[in-house]
């Protein structure tokens, strides 16, 4: 694998240049653009919800929890996050799930979804809301449904309608969008059908040793007096909601912790839910004993929060060529620049790091879940507005009014972060711009207007995305602000990545407004990150001045946070004064029907080596293994994209032979942490599937086999035919370690 690194959540520098070149090329050759027709939504009806109870103040809530697979075809589609054009999906590390929580107080109902996805895009949200409307009418709406992404960087891309994001993920890809929409809606369906009387308890605690601030220089630019109010430069708090039925039996858990889901790095090609997904996996395996991953009634959601400047790579950054510290301000190295400055840890490789961080978060949440005894009571509210973020006026004092700006990205955006740096000579902390790149930009997409340049000062603008509208706007302008409250818990759904201090300011502003009603309530305010629409980062005004990656990616300018403080305070005030219905809805965001483009070519026909069949074993297992060993077997395979909707299925089983019943029992699937399904596309359209089983210490001794399931597409006469196939390894034995000396 080459040394070309990637940018978190955007475009690498090389890719931006290529992207712009591409746009110009497509302008000449418009036939490349595939216009897409909007899908018809599923019209299947749903059963009515149970009748709500009548006394909200003293009755339990109605609670529903649901989990659904939202994994898309793990092949050839770009993974969303590092914007690395060569990081195309090629298998499954762990499956991706959407987890939904519905609470009803008898009068009002709210839905919170946390999904294993890079972020919720505006397009994804609008498609989910349309599907919900078809099924449920007015029950689930933009104001009472909040959707949040865990920010895994190893989910599929292709679910955006704005040009910049489409360029970074081969366009708008229906193959990728459909399983996300269907998975999210299905998780809500399951929660809806499960609704029953229950109680909610809350608990907050601290988790150290699992996160690190990756832009401390920016953080230090915040006022000293403000910084001194906090012990750490990341938020270590974990907030847990425990859901039980009326017997006190746990039915679900929802938690928030601020850390980037980037333990898996840009070299990984397998779909993976990363550290946050692993925490869910561990908690659900614990609470659903005997169930395979993704099965069982207990649902554990680990939601993202104000993770903008927070990395899980806690060994911190250093120059990988000299092993010396990187430059503090610019995160670059004397030789090799930003791409040599990388952060790692705490494990020896990305799998171990993912496991350790996921396990830490899980253990803390489990502890808080066990201790949670503060019951959440009181009414439910939801407040939502659409806001045109390009022109929000903020009254700073009696005489000084400032404004947000049309979206634009700064030069440091292309430098990336220490979780994955840029390709070219961009560095973080740039406030001067670079004449060379300015020249290229001006030639390709045109310079930013003076107005936009002034508005974003001191950001040197790389792309004035708010001023480029071809073939569709490059960035969203209308965004969602939303707060849902359950008793004394407020979930603030934010449209991007708030930095640590931005999040603290927003929580404080919301809390202050909520408590302004004079009723003495101890509000717990949490931020749900990457919610509803993606707008990159939100730094404080002071952090913005430093123009590291996060500041350069604060797309609505230096006063972005101030505008959000004003807007969310308005929602909180409406909730406190019980005047949510008086909030104007704001301008509805667009749902583009035309000019979406899809650059992912159709999956080609599958070929196989002579004298073999699909599913045949090319590389066989050994006869005997011990716990700790890795079993590996390679099959003749088809392209996983030919398997269509792969939700709730598996490409892999690890099976043990039960001597008593004389049957094979499945012990692992491709959703299991212990299995890795690698799809390897070879030449001549031939491809292989290599399945690894990392045998855990807990594995039972016995006879095992590994099976692979797939589909192949072949020409039969003049027709293409897709056929299912399967293959099995030889039987092998796992013996307890102590048999071997």
Binding footprint of Zn ion on the chain (CB under 5 A) = 8-9, 497
Burial of 379 (0-12, 13-18, 19+ CB in 10 A): middle
CB of 8 to Zn ion, least distance (A): 4
Contacts (Cβ under 8 Å, ≥6 apart) of 693: 630, 631, 632, 654, 668, 674, 675, 706
Whichever of 8 and 166 has its CB closer to Zn ion, that residue is 8
CB of 207 to Zn ion, least distance (A): 19
CB of 553 to Zn ion, least distance (A): 9
Whichever of 423 and 497 has its CB closer to Zn ion, that residue is 497
Q: What is the dihedral of CA 418, 81, 69, 256, to 10 degrees?
A: 50
**How far is the C-alpha of 354 from the C-alpha of 63, rounded, in Å?**
31
For residue 726, how far is the Cα from the chain centroid? 32
Whichever of 124 and 575 has its CB closer to Zn ion, that residue is 124
CB of 10 to Zn ion, least distance (A): 9
Helix (H) or strand (E) holding 655: strand 652-658
Whichever of 8 and 430 has its CB closer to Zn ion, that residue is 8
Question: Which tokens belong to 659?
Answer: 């001597």
Whichever of 211 and 639 has its CB closer to Zn ion, that residue is 211
**How far is the C-alpha of 285 from the C-alpha of 352, rounded, in Å?**
19
Is 531 in contact with 142 (CB distance < 8 Å)?
no
Whichever of 82 and 140 has its CB closer to Zn ion, that residue is 82
CB of 549 to Zn ion, least distance (A): 9
What number of residues does the chain have? 741
CB of 257 to Zn ion, least distance (A): 15
Whichever of 215 and 675 has its CB closer to Zn ion, that residue is 215
Contacts (Cβ under 8 Å, ≥6 apart) of 61: 103, 104, 105, 197, 198, 199, 200, 380, 486
Helix (H) or strand (E) holding 135: helix 122-136
DSSP code, position 444: H
CB of 502 to Zn ion, least distance (A): 13
Question: Which tokens belong to 185?
Answer: 């809606």
Whichever of 9 and 376 has its CB closer to Zn ion, that residue is 9
Whichever of 434 and 497 has its CB closer to Zn ion, that residue is 497
Contacts (Cβ under 8 Å, ≥6 apart) of 340: 319, 320, 321, 322, 326, 332, 333, 421
Burial of 33 (0-12, 13-18, 19+ CB in 10 A): middle
Whichever of 261 and 271 has its CB closer to Zn ion, that residue is 261
CB of 714 to Zn ion, least distance (A): 41
CB of 19 to Zn ion, least distance (A): 19
Whichever of 9 and 80 has its CB closer to Zn ion, that residue is 9
Query: SS3 string of 379-443?
Result: CEEEEEEEEECCCCEEECCCCCEEECCCCCEEHHHHHEECCEECCCCCCCCCCCCCHHHHHHHHH
Is 213 in contact with 500 (CB distance < 8 Å)?
yes
CB of 419 to Zn ion, least distance (A): 8
CB of 273 to Zn ion, least distance (A): 16
**How far is the C-alpha of 304 from the C-alpha of 306, rounded, in Å?**
7
Q: What is the dihedral of CA 175, 181, 184, 187, to 10 degrees?
A: -90
């Amino acid at each position: 694998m080459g040394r070309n690194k990637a940018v978190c959540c955007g475009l690498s520098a090389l890719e931006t240049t290529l992207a712009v070149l591409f746009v110009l090329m497509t302008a000449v050759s418009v036939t490349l653009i595939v216009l897409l027709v909007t899908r018809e939504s599923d019209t299947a009806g749903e059963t009515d919800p149970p009748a709500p109870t009548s006394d909200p103040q003293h009755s339990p809530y109605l609670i529903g929890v649901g989990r659904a697979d939202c994994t898309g075809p793990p092949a050839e589609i770009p993974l969303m996050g590092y914007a690395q054009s060569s990081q195309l999906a090629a298998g499954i590390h762990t499956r991706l799930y959407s987890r939904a929580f519905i609470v009803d107080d008898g009068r009002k109902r709210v839905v919170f979804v946390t999904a294993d996805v890079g972020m919720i895009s505006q397009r994804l949200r609008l498609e989910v809301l349309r599907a919900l409307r078809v099924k449920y009418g007015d029950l689930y709406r933009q104001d009472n449904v909040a959707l949040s992404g865990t920010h895994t960087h190893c989910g599929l891309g292709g679910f955006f309608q704005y040009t910049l994001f489409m360029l970074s993920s081969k366009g708008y890809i229906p193959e990728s969008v459909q399983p996300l929409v269907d998975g999210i809606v299905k998780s809500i369906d399951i929660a809806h059908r499960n609704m029953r009387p229950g109680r909610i308890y809350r608990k907050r605690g601290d988790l150290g040793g699992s996160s690190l601030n990756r832009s401390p220089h920016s953080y230090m630019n915040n006022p000293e007096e403000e910084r001194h109010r906090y012990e750490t430069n990341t938020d270590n708090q974990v907030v847990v909601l425990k859901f039980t039925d009326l017997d006190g039996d746990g039915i679900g858990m929802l938690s928030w912790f601020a850390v980037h889901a980037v333990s898996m790095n840009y070299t990984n090609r397998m779909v993976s839910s990363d550290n946050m997904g692993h925490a869910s996996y561990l908690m659900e395996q614990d609470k659903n004993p005997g169930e395979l991953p993704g099965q069982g009634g207990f649902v554990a959601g680990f939601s993202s929060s104000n993770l903008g400047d927070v990395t899980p790579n806690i060994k911190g950054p250093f120059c990988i060529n000299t092993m010396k510290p990187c430059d503090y301000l610019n995160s670059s190295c004397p030789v090799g620049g930003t791409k040599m400055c990388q952060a790692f840890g705490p494990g020896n490789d990305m799998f171990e790091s993912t496991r350790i961080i996921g396990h830490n978060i899980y253990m803390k949440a489990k502890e808080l879940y066990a201790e949670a005894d503060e019951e959440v009571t009181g009414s439910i509210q939801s407040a939502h507005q659409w806001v045109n973020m390009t022109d929000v006026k903020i009254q700073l004092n009696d005489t000084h009014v400032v404004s947000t700006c049309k979206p634009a990205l700064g030069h440091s955006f292309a430098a990336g972060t220490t979780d994955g740096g840029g390709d070219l000579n961009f560095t973080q902390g740039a406030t001067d711009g670079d004449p060379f790149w300015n020249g290229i930009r001006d030639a390709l997409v045109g310079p930013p207007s003076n107005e936009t340049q002034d508005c974003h000062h001191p950001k040197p603008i790389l792309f004035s995305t708010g001023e480029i509208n071809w073939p569709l706007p490059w960035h969203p302008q209308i965004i969602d602000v939303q707060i849902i409250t359950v008793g004394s818990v407020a979930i603030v759904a934010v449209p991007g990545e708030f930095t640590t201090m931005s999040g603290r300011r927003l929580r404080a502003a919301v809390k202050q407004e909520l408590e302004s009603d004079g009723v003495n309530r101890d509000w717990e305010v949490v931020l749900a990150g990457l919610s509803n629409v993606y707008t990159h980062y939100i730094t404080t005004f002071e952090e913005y001045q430093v123009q590291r990656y996060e500041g350069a990616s604060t797309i609505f300018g230096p006063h972005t946070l101030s505008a959000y403080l004003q807007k969310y305070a308005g929602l909180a005030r409406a909730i406190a004064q019980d005047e949510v219905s008086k909030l104007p809805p704001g301008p509805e965001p667009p749902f583009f029907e035309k000019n979406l483009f899809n650059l992912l070519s159709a999956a080609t026909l599958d070929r196989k080596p002579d004298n073999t069949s699909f599913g045949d074993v090319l590389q066989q297992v050994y006869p005997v293994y011990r716990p700790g060993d890795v079993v590996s077997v390679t099959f003749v395979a088809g392209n996983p994209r030919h398997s269509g909707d792969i939700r709730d299925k598996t490409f892999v089983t690890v099976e043990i032979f039960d001597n008593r019943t004389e049957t094979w029992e499945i012990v692992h699937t491709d959703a299991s942490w212990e299995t890795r399904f690698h799809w390897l596309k070879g030449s001549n359209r031939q491809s292989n599937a290599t399945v690894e089983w990392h045998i855990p210490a807990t594995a039972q001794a016995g006879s095992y086999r590994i099976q692979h399931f797939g589909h192949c597409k072949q020409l039969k006469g003049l027709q293409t035919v897709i056929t299912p196939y399967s293959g099995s390894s030889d039987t092998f034995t796992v013996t307890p370690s102590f048999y071997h000396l």
